[in-house]
Amino acid sequence: MRTTWTLTKMRMRLALRNRAFLFFSLLMPLAFLFLYASLFAKGEPRAVGYLFPSVLALTVMGSFWGLSIQLVMFREHGILRRFRLTPVGPAALLASSILSNYVLTLPTVALEFVLVRAVYGVTTFGNLWGAWLFITLGIVTFAAFGLIVASLTNTMQETQVLNNAIWFLFLFFSGATLPLVFFPEWLQRLSMFLPATHLVVGLQFTLIGAVPVRSLGPEVVALVGGAALAFALSWKLFRWEPGEKISRSAKAWAAAVIIPFLLLGVWENALDARRIELQKIYRSLGERTSPLPEQR
């Protein structure tokens, strides 16, 4: 544990000295916030409140990029080799990625809450503790996903290409950029298979609907299960040296991380409850009555 924290401090220090990291983890999310709130929501507090969970989800999902690239760079430059001689195991290195992502993302998230309240006058945040839980789960889960990509790829370039491909999928089909209600039904159904959707749904329900976490069991289970599986797999696939190759069977193993989301996607589609509830939340926006959806 102490080793993990020692590594975490070093990695946060390095991240804060990296301009690209600051740009992507601080400036980009804030730019998104202003874009959504001023342009799409036209500064109208209820509309801003409705889009805010999407902005938060984007910020939180940034951990997917976060420090996984740093780990690939460490391996590529022979830095991991040096750590291999010390009493540091793969688990500590991987955990330090997640932990530093968490500590570095929280201030941005907090800043977004403050801005949305101070600049756009959003005053109700529904179930704030529930939202905090989803923020935590989101950062951890998406950071763990990033670690799998880091384990599979050999160079930073490869990592970036693969990250981009997955990132676009998350971004556009999860409701993080365009709310799901605007999608055709088949796409809405498809999005139920994406981990990012569970994060967006969790944040929307807690923040807008003030829904208690116990009604969001499937989302919590999906994110926790995904994080645990992703961490275990990236541990199994961990490589110290740039020269070490990974086998095809190991790559196939990495695909196992989609299992919980596959199961949940099937289940959600069979039940078809979330989709309808999301539409209710959206419709309530236009009504004079409470913007809160009915609780289940």
Partner 1 sequence: MSEPVIRVEQLRKRYGSVEALRGVSFQVQEGEVFGLLGPNGAGKTTTVEILEGMRTADAGLAQVCGLDPRRGGAAFQRQIGAVLQHTALPDKLRVGEAVELFANLYGRRRNLDALLERLGLADKQRAFYDELSGGQRQRLALALALVHEPRVLFLDEPTAGLDPQVRREIYEIIEELRREGKTILLTTHYIEEAERLCDRVAIMDYGKLIALGTPAELRQRSANTTRIAVRLAQPIEDGRLRQLDGVVDCRPISDGYLLHSQRPPQTIVALVKELEALGNELQSLEISAPTLEDVFIELTGRSLRD
Interface ranges with partner 1 (CB under 8 A)? 2-3, 6-7, 10, 13-14, 17-18, 74, 77-79, 81-88, 240-241
Closest separation in Å from C-beta 16 to partner 1: 9
Closest separation in Å from C-beta 169 to partner 1: 31
- Where residue 56 falls (left for φ over 0; alpha for ψ -120 to 50; beta otherwise) is alpha
Task: Decide whether 8 or 59 has the Cβ nearer to partner 1.
Answer: 8
Residue type, 284: S
Closest separation in Å from C-beta 29 to partner 1: 23
Calculate the CA 278 to chain-centre distance: 20
Residue type, 18: N
Closest separation in Å from C-beta 83 to partner 1: 8
Task: Decide whether 24 or 183 has the Cβ nearer to partner 1.
Answer: 24
Task: Decide whether 113 or 240 has the Cβ nearer to partner 1.
Answer: 240
DSSP string, 72-134: HHHHHTTHHHHHHTTT--HHHHHHHHHHHHHHHHHHHHHHHHHHHHHTT-----SSHHHHHHH
Closest separation in Å from C-beta 77 to partner 1: 5
Task: Decide whether 81 or 280 has the Cβ nearer to partner 1.
Answer: 81
Closest separation in Å from C-beta 97 to partner 1: 14
Joined together, the tokens standing for residue 279 give: 């539409």
Task: Decide whether 78 or 107 has the Cβ nearer to partner 1.
Answer: 78
Task: Decide whether 87 or 184 has the Cβ nearer to partner 1.
Answer: 87
The half-sphere exposure of 274 on its side-chain side, counting CA atoms within 13 A, is 30
Contact at 8 Å (CB) between 90 and 45?
no
